[in-house]
A and B are shown apart, each in its own frame.
Chain A
Amino acid sequence: MKPFHLQAAVPGLEPSSDLVSRTLNVNQESAQLIYLSTLCDKQYIQSSIMQAFDACGNLAEFNAKLTMIAGFERIKNGNLQAEKLLHGFALVVFPDAICAIEAKKASLAKPSETSSESIIQGPQKAFSEDLEQNVQIIRTRYPSKNLNVEYTEIGTESRTQLAILYDKAKVDPDILLDLDKRLAGVEAAVVQASNQVQMLLTSRFEFFPTALVTDRPDRTALSLSKGKVILLLNGTPFSINLPAVFYDFMVSMDDAYQSPWLTRPLLILRYMAVFITTALPALYVAAVSYNPEFFQTQLAIEIAGSRAAVPYASFYEVFFMLFMTEALTEASIRLPKHIGSTATTVGGLILGQAAQEAGLVSSIMIIIASSVAVSNFVIPINTMSYSMRLIKFPLVICAMYFGLVGVVTGIFCFIVYAASLRSFGRPYLKLFIGEAKKSR
């Protein structure tokens, strides 16, 4: 009987201390059981493989018994052994064949509460960090016989599992083709987050997101029913929905669950918030520095009065306050939850008050800065609110040099730019009159 050679059986595997390799002897013959103890469920291996081995008189019988176990695969050729080991399979190496039995530990990940897109009344649980569980969630929410699930891998090093889900009856085959082409072109080494996948699939330097990342299973199921393609990445509680148009980012799931008398005005409110969060600082600079006659007389005097103590041009003020609010937003994301409230109190209340009293910024500017920040949080989807945070700066620069003319020019540029975007071949910004509603 020749000694077992690990490298020969599993080429390319480096010895590791969680690698278990046991020889199973019967009738002068021997098979080798190999698994990674950190990935596999020992109890399950005991009850399935070991029990089967116990009841057998020779290897052939054992081999036949193994085929009865759920999750059995025969590795025919190639160097898939190491791959299978790393995905939680236990390998049984016979002298003439290699069998793989799935023995993965049950995932401990549980769906958490939705955090990035909360609504008041409606489904409350988000996705979990486990891919299988996420696919299960979608299958239960969207029990259609047309639902198609494909698995692939992304990232040359991380080999992260990626599931592609779509409703075969409704999906546009062009989008699938386009997606395949783009997935093949991804060259990133380590892929760990849905937003990263979204960026890898679309152009990296786009100002607006052209694929929608959400942690809500109900939004995902709705997207499936509208013929969109869903990507689920292992290890993140988010789904990527594509294609996505501009209006999709403005819709909260609440809009589908409540009366139109409430949701339509809310939708208008969101668009107004978009206008305020992008254009208000620029309009302030333009109106104060170039065209104070823009406003009603009393209002113009009020603004000029509140700026009386401020020693520098309006755009310094705007940049100073915008910097503070952006820094505050960043700080409250990064800080641990318990310290977060301190940052907002110190930064928002004390600093704002003191800056105004010291005459460094006008009180009107404090109102503008806070309304810009608040309006930005009204946008339902996080990636879009990031884009809107960004857009106000070019507009302020335009206003600095050209006044109101510059603001209009900037807005025109962004509208043309957004209209020139395509999300997987679909126009991003236009009126979809007479076409099926893309969301809701």
Chain B
Amino acid sequence: MSRYFFYLMCVSMLIHTILFIPRVLIDERFDGAIPSLFIGPVIGCVLMVVFTRSMQQFKGKGLPEIAAMFLPKAAAVPLMLVFGLVTMTSGCLIWIHCAFIMSKYLNPDMAIYVLLSLFVIVTCFGALQSTKTVLFSLEIILILSVPLLLTLLVHSIFSENMNYDAVKAMIDYSWIMPSWKSVSASSYTFAGYIGLAVFNREFKDGKPIRFLWLIPFLGLGLMLASFFIPIGYLGTAGIDDYIYTWVSTIDAIRMKYVFIERVISVYLLILLMMTYVFTMITWHLGSQVIGSCFRSYDPQTAAWRSKLPSLVICVVIGIGTVLAGSRINEIMLFQAVSSWMIFHLPFDAAFVMIVFIWSKSKRRIQQ
């Protein structure tokens, strides 16, 4: 099953490098973003390795079951609530961001709450499927969209419009102390391991995940590409004029001999597909973890009674997303994203520490 772990990591890396991280990092490009590109993966990968090792101590168990082993119910329920809400909020932020992009580039005549409602309803449908189904569809969609995305990436790197002088100019800013925000943001690329909190239920064989060392390099490569390609296309200073940096960069790429000349339309569709998958995963995580606090919850059955708590949670969060999305504007969204980035790293670290301590004490009990 270790390939499913890779898919989880990949989809979160792709989504974060496309949507959030370039924005945050490029804002700080003269204030130490480049060293954070290298520090972030180190922190992210340490957390990832610690978390996967600890979770593998509990074969076939999700976070709710593990918490029930160590904590009384009064302490486990708030913990699960916080964890679930945090994961689902990251999905919400990504949906709002994506809806802004879609309404700007693909459906300019459509009100944002109409688009968001469609996204949210479909995501609820996806998130309510069984854990296995979520993994299977993740696999199929990644297989379909990643080759296209890679083609675009390669095309953009070797395009004649890519100005490597701007990239070289950025190297002058390599030796600056990075800020907390940029380190936190670049470590967020590796946040896909959080998925194990529920998906560990399906990883029953307990074999160590092979090729784990590949992930930091993959992430670093993706981050370098997502940081330097926009700068190469739009210029070190000119990049400030764009809101959606990556989308504007992709819009500058042209494929001369393809039916679809402007790469951006294909790119936006892939982006939408990836966003669907990513939010399906995060909402599945959140709704499963929060749903486990209810008595009628049972992940083994497909009966609608055991799915009811998850459904209610998804619907509530979905309505919240639509309301929030129709009220805020882009400035507020980017402020929210950057404060989210600051908050996320300590939360993840604390959460990984808790699970690490539990896995240690489990080993002690066994000895």
Q: Which of B3, B107, B260 contacts A403 (CB 8 A)?
A: B107
Known: A420-B129, A430-B139, A431-B143. A296 touches B107 (CB 8 A): no
Q: Are A409 and B130 in contact (CB under 8 A)?
A: no
Bound Cα distance from A411 to B269, whole angstroms: 11
Q: Which of B110, B133, B268 makes the CB contact (< 8 A) with A419?
A: B133
**CB contact list, A407-439 vs B, under 8 A:** 408-409, 411-413, 415-416, 419-420, 427, 429-431, 433
Q: Which residues of A contact B240 (CB under 8 A)?
A: none
B91 at the interface (CB under 8 A from A): no
Q: Is B42 an interface residue (CB 8 A)?
A: no
Name the residue of chain B whose CB is nearest to the CB of A398. Answer: B118
- Say yes or no: is A272 at the interface (Cβ < 8 Å to chain B): no
Closest to B143 in A: A431
- Is the pair A412, B106 in contact by a Cβ cutoff of 8 Å? no
Distance of A406 Cα from B136 Cα, bound (Å): 22
Identify B132's interface contact among A297, A299, A413, A427, CB under 8 A. A427
Contact A291 B106 (CB under 8 A): yes
- Pair count A-B, CB < 8 A: 84
Bound: A427/B259 CA distance, A: 36
CB of B261 within 8 Å of the partner chain: yes
Bitwise, B124-151 to A at CB < 8 A (1) or not (0) is 0110011011011101110100000000
Known A296-B260, A296-B261, A405-B115; judge A427-B126 contact (CB<8 A): no
The residue on A at minimum CB distance from B115 is A405
The answer to whether B260 touches A419 (Cβ under 8 A) is no
Q: Are A412 and B273 in contact (CB under 8 A)?
A: yes
A404 CB within 8 Å of chain B: yes
Contact B260 A405 (CB under 8 A): no
A316 interface residue per 8 A CB criterion? no
The interface residues of chain B, by DSSP majority, are classed as helix
Asked whether any CB of chain A lies closer than 8 Å to the CB of B102, the reply is yes
Complex CA gap A420/B141 in Å reads 14
Q: How far is the CB of B203 from chain A (nearest CB, A)?
A: 15
B276: CB under 8 A from chain A?
yes
A294 on the B face (CB < 8 A): yes
Partner of B139, one of A402, A405, A431: A431
Shortest distance in angstroms between A146's beta carbon and chain B's nearest beta carbon?
A: 30
A403, B140: Cβ atoms under 8 Å? no
When distances are taken between beta carbons in the complex, the residues of chain A under 8 Å from B129 are 416, 419-420
CA distance A320 to B249 in the complex (A): 40
A431–B129 CA distance with the chains assembled, in angstroms: 18
Q: Is A290 on the interface with B (CB-CB < 8 A)?
A: yes
CA distance A243 to B273 in the complex (A): 30
The verdict on B280 contacting chain A, using a C-beta distance below 8 Å, is: yes
The answer, among A295, A411, A420, for a CB contact under 8 Å with B133, is A420
Inter-chain contact A297/B261, CB cutoff 8 Å: yes
Is B243 in contact with chain A by the CB < 8 A criterion? no
Q: Given that A416-B133, A427-B136 are known contacts, is A402 also in contact with B107, CB under 8 Å in the complex?
A: yes
Across the interface, do A420 and B130 meet the contact criterion of CB distance under 8 Å? yes
Chain A contacts for B135, CB-based, 8 A: 430
Give Cα distance in the complex from A32 to B266, angstroms: 82
Chain B positions within 8 Å of A409 at CB level: 118-119, 122, 272, 276
Query: Within 8 Å of chain A (Cβ to Cβ): is B362?
Result: no
* Residue A293 is within 8 A (CB to CB) of chain B in the complex: yes
Q: Which residues of B contact A430 (CB under 8 A)?
A: 135-136, 139-140
B222 → A minimal CB distance (Å): 22
Contacts of B262 in A (CB 8 A): 293-294
Query: Are B272's CB and A405's CB within 8 A?
Result: yes
Q: Is the CB of B272 within 8 A of A408?
A: yes
Contacts of A419 in B (CB 8 A): 129, 133, 136-137, 140
- Residues on the B chain within 8 Å of A296, using CB: 258-261
Minimum CB–CB distance from B30 to chain A (whole Å) comes to: 35
Task: Give CA–CA (A429, B118) in the complex, Å.
Answer: 25
CB within 8 A of A408: which of B115, B273, B280?
A: B273
B174 at the interface (CB under 8 A from A): no
Partner of A404, one of B125, B141, B258, B265: B265
Task: Determine the chain B residues whose CB is within 8 A of the CB of A420 once the complex forms.
Answer: 129-130, 133, 137
Given contacts A405-B102, A420-B130, contact A415 B141 (CB under 8 A): yes
Q: Is the CB of B276 within 8 A of A291?
A: no
Query: Contact residue range for chain B?
Result: 35 or more
B304 CB to nearest chain A CB (Å): 14
Chain A residues with CB under 8 A of B130? 420
In the bound assembly, the distance between CA atoms of A214 and B277 in angstroms comes to 35
Set A290, A297, A412: member contacting B276, Cβ < 8 A: A412
Interfacial chain A residues near B126, Cβ < 8 Å: 412, 416
Does B260 contact A294, Cβ atoms closer than 8 Å?
yes
* Cβ–Cβ contact B118 & A402, under 8 A: yes
Which listed residue, A294, A295, A408, A415, touches B137 by the CB 8 Å rule? A415
Does the CB pair B269–A408 fall under 8 Å?
yes
Nearest CB on B from A299, distance (A) = 6
B280 shortest CB reach to chain A, Å: 7
A227-262 vs B: 1/0 string, CB under 8 Å? 000000000000000000000000000000000000
Please report the C-alpha to C-alpha distance between residue A405 and residue B130 in the assembled complex, in whole angstroms.
25
| B126: nearest chain-A partner, CB-CB | A416
B265 touches A291 (CB 8 A): yes
The reply to whether B269 and A404 contact each other, CB–CB distance below 8 Å, is yes
Shortest B301–chain A CB gap in Å is: 14
Nearest CB in chain B to that of A407: its residue:
B269
Type the 1/0 row for B3-39, where 1 means its CB is closer than 8 Å to any CB of A: 1000000000000000000000000000000000000
Closest Cβ of chain A: how far from B70's Cβ, in Å? Answer: 33
**A415 touching B261 by the CB < 8 A rule?**
no
Q: Kindly state the separation between the CA atoms of A436 and B255 in the bound complex, as whole angstroms.
A: 41
CA distance A420 to B284 in the complex (A): 14
Produce 1/0 per residue, B278-291, CB < 8 A to A.
Answer: 00100000000000
Say whether A290 contacts B107, CB under 8 Å.
yes
* Complex Cα–Cα for A429 and B134 (A): 11
Taking CB atoms, residues of chain B closer than 8 Å to A293 are 262, 265
Instruction: Pick the most buried of B119, B122, B129, B137: most chain A CB atoms within 10 A of its CB.
Output: B137
Residues on the A chain within 8 Å of B258, using CB = 296
List the B side residues contacting A411 at CB < 8 Å.
273
- Kindly provide the distance from the CB of A206 to the nearest chain B CB, expressed in whole angstroms: 14
Supposing A297-B261, A404-B269, A419-B133 touch, asked if A290 and B140 sit within 8 A by C-beta, the answer is: no
Chain A residues, Cβ within 8 Å of B139? 430-431
- Binary contact readout A277-302 vs B (1 if CB under 8 angstroms, 0 otherwise): 00000000000001101111101000
Q: Which of A404, A408, A411, A429 has the most CB of B within 10 A?
A: A408
0 or 1 for each of A41-69: is its CB under 8 Å from B? (1 = yes): 00000000000000000000000000000
Closest CB in chain A relative to B90 CB, distance in Å: 19
Can you name 16 A-B residue pairings with CB atoms under 8 Å? A290-B106, A294-B262, A295-B261, A296-B261, A297-B261, A402-B110, A404-B106, A404-B265, A409-B276, A412-B122, A413-B125, A415-B137, A419-B129, A419-B136, A429-B136, A430-B135
Given contacts A293-B265, A408-B276, A412-B126, 10 further A-B contacts (CB under 8 A): A290-B106, A291-B106, A295-B260, A404-B268, A412-B273, A412-B276, A413-B125, A420-B133, A430-B135, A430-B139
